[in-house]
Structure 1
Amino acid sequence: MILVKTLEDLRRELDSFDKAETVGFVPTMGALHQGHLSLVAKAVEENPHVVVSIFVNPTQFNDLKDLERYPRTLARDMELLKPTGCSIVFAPNAKEVYPEPDLRKFNFGKLEEVMEGAHRPGHFNGVAQVVSRLFDMVKPDKSYFGLKDFQQLAIVKNMVKQLQLPVEIVPCAIIREESGLAMSSRNELLTKEQRENASVISTTLFKAKELMGQKSVEELTGWVVDEINKNPFLDVEYFEIVDDEQLQPVKSWNEESTKVGCVAVFCGKIRLIDNLVFN
């Protein structure tokens, strides 16, 4: 495993690979946890060469304080990646990724008008900017994304289609802590007490799935919000039950679509997201 920080060094290493062998890519913002490592493991299983990027992308933060708070732990991340079998860790600075301001404006239609898109204006445009740039730098055959960021995954798939990029997007399962809390780099910012109470988010989602047949979509949506908000550590920003393709709110359980419950919750100042397939 080698650490590179410039595009020139990255390309030199990539050029040393056998062109007949595939390259897997795992884009991250660092502060790695077992969820990230599960993506790397999947990539290593499926490709002779794997690149992991570590870059906290400024263009996807609509809150500068959130950008400042985001954990940066490169030395620890490198230690975690050593035993995984990944080939290259690419850790560029902002000037390397954006030598000039990226003025592109993507149109994702209804996909970006709900949930994360509605509450974080410009977020997904920043995601598309950085992921498309990283794809251009790494030129992977496959790229691996966690299903925890369910809406982001849909956006990335749409971007790949729009730009006609020759990369396969591979979704990977959510990895949870023992308490059920979805693993996230932001969990590191929680106090021990907050972390314990944050497990209410996933507990409530799993209970909600059991109640599907007893409550309407509207009733269940209200129940989830009320149940999480009962906890004094938690404050729901949104909870939506949506279809898995266009991410539009579902009105009835009878609609022919896979239904996903998606939630964003503040635990103190830390914003956590999670989701669960409700079918």
Structure 2
Amino acid sequence: MLVFNKKSDLSAFLSPLINQNKSIGFVPTMGALHQGHLSLLKKSLSENDVTVMSIFVNPTQFNNADDLNQYPRTLERDIQIMQDLSNNIIVYAPEVTDIYEGNTVSENFDYDGLENQMEGKHRPGHFNGVGTIVKRLFEIIQPKRAYFGEKDFQQLQIVKKLVSKYKIPVDVIGCSIHREANGLAMSSRNERLSPMAREKAAIVYQILNNAKILFKTKAIEDIIIYVTNEFKKHPEFQLEYFEIADENTLLPVLKKEANTKYRGFIAIFVENIRLIDNISLN
């Protein structure tokens, strides 16, 4: 397995492959790999001549310094996990200086308002950081296809908007959420949870599923009240937000309309660790 730490070395390796019209699949991650990441890799391996995975904890998308400092970094373990899957994965694991060249700041992006909802409201500057790193990685790797998990559904829509608005020649492919046996959405942050909290966090998906059932017959306002009240029964969880939004615009809605896809989005804290999830409602 090839591991590159410098973009110049990676570009030099990929350039002949690009000239040969080899299709490059790309899976961007911040490491601490789990089965969700591996499902993205498997899809890329099956659909492309070459697969690149980046492992980079991007500082510009963190608005909380403690969250950045405590984010799990397990590069050696991650490489072993990938080797167990396939030797045909190319790894790009740069230092901050290789990506940002001494100027670790975000570019400013306009995503037609997608950035102002949910995560954007609660994490100022987050999606400028996401856009900055994704755009730079696309420029370095020049993939034909890039794979993102739907757990970060808002991020997926943001990246699709980035590619569309800035005319970046990449097919952005969303992949379904992978869940632990108890329903908890797989996330690198789960590694920071105590075993007890990790098990109790099953309640998040249970409540989302109940909201989906209620969506068939109840008003949106009633569903929001239900979710809020359910978390009041579990004081170890702090509900940051629950919103029902249009899948395409991400705008919160209070009234259902025909021929519109809706999704429930949630963010909670447990043991001071922030978890997000979402579910298609119709």
TM class by shorter chain equals over 0.9
SS of residue paired to 1:81: helix
1:135-159 deviation per Cα after TM superposition (whole angstroms, max 9, x unaligned): 0010100000000001001111111
What is the deviation of 1:255? 4.5
Letter in 2 for 1:111: L
Give the equivalent residue in structure 2 for 1:76. Answer: 77
Contact 1:197 1:233 in 2 (8 A): no
Question: Given the alignment of the two structures, is residue 164 of structure 1 paired with residue 164 of structure 2, yes or no?
Answer: no
Contact 1:260 1:278 in 2 (8 A): yes
What is the deviation of 1:231? 1.3
Where does structure 2 lack aligned partners over 5 or more consecutive residues?
Answer: none
Letter in 2 for 1:104: E
SS of residue paired to 1:42: helix
SS of residue paired to 2:60: helix
Where does structure 1 lack aligned partners over 5 or more consecutive residues?
Answer: none
What is the deviation of 1:224? 1.1
Contact 2:106 2:129 in 1 (8 A): no
Alignment of 1:185-204 (within 5 A): 185-204=188-207
Give the equivalent residue in structure 2 for 1:36. Answer: 37
SS of residue paired to 1:211: helix
Aligned counterpart for 2:138 among listed residues 118, 135, 139: 135
Identity between Structure 1 and Structure 2 (%): 46
Question: Given the alignment of the two structures, is residue 94 of structure 1 paired with residue 96 of structure 2, yes or no?
Answer: yes
Aligned partners of 1:103 and 1:240: how far apart in 2? 27
Alignment of 1:21-32 (within 5 A): 21-32=22-33
Alignment of 1:255-266 (within 5 A): 255-266=258-269
SS of residue paired to 1:179: coil
Contact 2:238 2:270 in 1 (8 A): yes
Aligned partners of 2:106 and 2:248: how far apart in 1? 28
| RMSD over equivalenced CA pairs, Å | 1.2
Aligned partners of 2:12 and 2:106: how far apart in 1? 28
What is the deviation of 1:23? 0.3
SS of residue paired to 1:109: coil
SS of residue paired to 1:221: helix
Question: Given the alignment of the two structures, is residue 15 of structure 1 paired with residue 18 of structure 2, yes or no?
Answer: no
Question: Given the alignment of the two structures, is residue 154 of structure 1 paired with residue 148 of structure 2, yes or no?
Answer: no
What is the deviation of 1:103? 5.0
Contact 2:150 2:156 in 1 (8 A): yes
Contact 1:197 1:231 in 2 (8 A): no
Letter in 2 for 1:176: R
Give the equivalent residue in structure 2 for 1:227. Answer: 230
Deviates more, 1:120-129 or 1:251-260: 251-260
Query: What is the aligned residue count?
Result: 279
What is the deviation of 1:254? 3.0
1:230-278 deviation per Cα after TM superposition (whole angstroms, max 9, x unaligned): 2122111000000011101122223431000000000121000000000
1:182-216 deviation per Cα after TM superposition (whole angstroms, max 9, x unaligned): 00000000001110111100011011111123321
TM-score by length of 1: 0.97
